[in-house]
Amino acid sequence: FQSAVLNSTNYYRAQYQANALTWDSKLAEYAQNYSHQCVFLHSGGPYGENLAEGFSSVATSVDAWANEENEYDYADPKFSEATGHFTQLVWKNTTTVGCGITLCTNHNENGANGLYLVCEYSPAGNVAGEFRQEV
């Protein structure tokens, strides 16, 4: 699991001249604990965070985040709900990642269904005013 996250993540980061991330077990523990709740909402924690639900694998989840690049406006670099996963994924100042995954069968409002991947990033990306140099 750890190597799948790092391989997929660092594949995309290399395309944007961002250094490879290393695994952080503290971030992974936080992410795993949060994923167990099967709530498809951001945790509000101190890290950068990407969520994905219902994909067949880690790689397809990371691919979906990376594909948001198609919507990113390099002429007007700033945060957007439509591209926030992509910008966190390739944020140059981020150095570590840790993720957790849970198979959820929650059909409540805001409940995650299927494979629920939570990844935490440090330092957090998506910092206002820094998009031009970080993405």
pLDDT given for residue 57 in this prediction: 95
pLDDT given for residue 107 in this prediction: 63
Give the pLDDT confidence of 1-34 residue by residue, as tens digits: 999 999 999 999 999 999 999 999 999 999 999 9
| Residue 90 backbone phi and psi in degrees, to 5 | -105, 5
- Counting Cα atoms < 13 Å in the Cβ hemisphere of 7 gives 8
Structure tokens at 7: 């391989």
CB 126 within 8 A of CB 84: yes
pTM of the shown model: 0.94
Band of pLDDT at residue 42, cut at 50, 70 and 90: very high
Give the pLDDT confidence of 70-119 residue by residue, as tens digits: 999 999 999 999 999 999 999 999 999 999 999 998 766 666 778 999 99
Strands 96-105 and 22-23: parallel
pLDDT given for residue 88 in this prediction: 99
Helical ranges in 1-135 per DSSP H: 2-15, 25-35, 58-67, 84-90, 131-134
All structural domains of the chain, each given as residue ranges with its CATH number in brackets, are 2-134 (3.40.33.10)
